[in-house]
Amino acid sequence: MQNRGSRFVPLACVIAGVVAGASVSLLLSHTGGGASVPRAHAATPHARAPRDATQERAHLAGERRRALAAHAAEPVDASWAPAAARTIARDLRAIPPAALRAPFRVAGVDCRTTRCVATLEWPSYDAARESFRAVIQQRSVQNRCSTFMLLDEPSDTTSAYESELLFDCHRD
Amino acid sequence: MNYRRHLALFALSAAAGLVCAAAPAVHAYWVKQHASFCSAQWSVNSWTLYNGGFENSDPVNQMGLLCPVADDSQHPKSAVAAINVHVRDGNATSLMWAEACVTFRTTPGGSCGDADWTTDNSFVGYDTLTPPPDVWADHPDDYGYIFVLVPVAAEGRGSPYLTSAVLGYELQD
């Protein structure tokens, strides 16, 4: 009888231990004790404060400068560049007129190995500002690229305006 | 001796209980939104917001749909790992595509990632487009959206569906 009772002691110790450990953990989480971070801030890698307007403009200008430099540094791949330039020019000309506040002209497309720069001419800065979205969104199956366009405000917003549309493409 | 063994058992079990209870529950975050959140980027002659989604009933003009992306400190768009856009392609001669984009918030301009297309021109039916969300991670401070190109209404031209539509979209961390 005494032997049977002593067999249950280890089991009782295990159960008591688990209960005690879990209780301590729950107590800590409810009282804010311990080293745990509140859930609301769990996403801290992404929860930084947004940049102010000046920082943001400088960041975007830097992004464009780096992309243009990367484009300029690429050699021209004759097996890809001419066809890619034709595809991009064709796609840009295929944007439905309803999607644009004002028409634009594709002045040129310069493709290298994986990157292209399209130069677009608009009747005015305002026309570019009101229609750039249709331009950056335009795609075709042959045009597997990401796009970037930043419109710097000129001193005269009513005269003809030129902008660069940057492409960073995937090649199979 | 027995006392020591029981004490060790208790301590080990307590530690195990502590670790198990403190382990964070893994909940994958996702959010689903009906296409009624979207708006037509340009005017088409006829579109319909019906129970099944946002459809283009114009037989002449394609429709560009802009679908907004929720973005807050707990679930920023920069943490999105996958986009699923649920569409119904009713046009047997053209493609639908979807892409993740941003509009810059301090200056005119924007950026879009690579697009994902329906299988091929002749495809008709329900499909899920999965454009990469990278552009949102590259531009965490800017306003994110999904652009979907919806082809013209087929009007019975070899398709069991009269129109193409966006049904909704879901984002996963």
Axis crossing angle, helix B2-22 with helix A2-31, rounded to the nearest 10: 30
The answer to whether A90 and A66 are in contact (CB under 8 A) is no
Shortest distance between the Cα of A88 and any Cα of chain B, in A, equals: 14
Structural domains of chain B, with CATH: 28-172 (2.60.120.260)
**Pair of tokens at residue A65:** 């400068």
Cβ contact B21–A150 (<8 Å): no
User: Is residue A47 in a domain?
Assistant: no
What secondary structure letter does DSSP report for A131? H
In a domain, A2, yes or no: no
Range of the domain at A136: 67-169
Bridge partners (DSSP) listed for residue A159: none
The answer to the question of residue A27 being in a domain is no
| Residues of chain A scoring pLDDT < 50 | 1, 30-44
Does some domain include residue A20? no
Look at phi and psi of residue A156 and say left if phi exceeds 0, alpha if psi is from -120 to 50, else beta.
Answer: beta
Chain A (114-133) residues lying within 8 Å, Cβ to Cβ, of chain B = 128-129, 132-133
Number of domains in chain A: 1
pLDDT at residue A33, rounded to an integer: 43
Predicted local confidence at residue B69, as pLDDT: 96
Q: Rounded to an integer, what distance in angstroms lies between the CA atom of residue A123 and that of residue A107?
A: 13
Question: Of A144, A147, A165, which to mutate for an interface test with B (greatest number of B Cβ within 10 Å)?
Answer: A147
Q: Which among A16, A26, A149 has CB closest to B10?
A: A16
Q: Which residues of B touch A97 (CB under 8 A)?
A: none
Q: What is the pTM of this model?
A: 0.79
Please give the biggest Cα pair distance in chain A.
103
- DSSP code at position A143: B
- Helix locations, B65-143, DSSP H: 134-138
The residues in A 6-35 lying below 8 A from B, measured between CB atoms, are 6, 9-10, 13-26, 28-29, 34
Contact A47 B73 (CB under 8 A): yes
pLDDT tens column, B57-66? 888 888 999 9
Residue A152 lies in a domain: yes
Residues near B103 by beta carbon (within 8 Å), at least 6 away in sequence: A133, B109, B110, B142, B143, B145
- Residue A110: predicted pLDDT: 98
Task: Quote the CA–CA distance of B8 and A60 in Å, as a whole number.
Answer: 61
Which residues are CB-contacts of B16 (< 8 A; sequence separation ≥ 6)?
A17, A18, A21
Query: Residue A151: left if φ>0, alpha if ψ -120 to 50, beta else—which one?
Result: beta
In a domain, A7, yes or no: no
What is the reported pLDDT for B34?
94
ipTM of this complex: 0.81
pLDDT the model gives residue A37: 36
| Residue A45 domain-assigned (yes or no) | no
Amino acid in position A147 = T
> What pLDDT shows up at residue A85?
96
What is the rounded CA–CA span in Å between residue B86 and residue B122?
18
Can you list the residues of chain B whose pLDDT is less than 70? 1-7, 9-10, 12-27, 43-45, 51, 155-161
pLDDT for A170:
87
Residue written as token pair 């000129």: A154
Amino acid letter, B138 = D
CA neighbor of B93 nearest in space, from B131, B116, B124 = B124
The answer to whether B37 and B68 have CB atoms below 8 angstroms apart is: yes
SS3 (DSSP) at B37 = helix
Query: Out of A25, A129, A137, whose CB is closest to B108?
Result: A129
Q: Can you say how many angstroms the Cα of residue B144 is from the centroid of all Cα atoms in its chain?
A: 11
Dihedral, A118, A124, A128, A130 alpha carbons, nearest 10:
-170
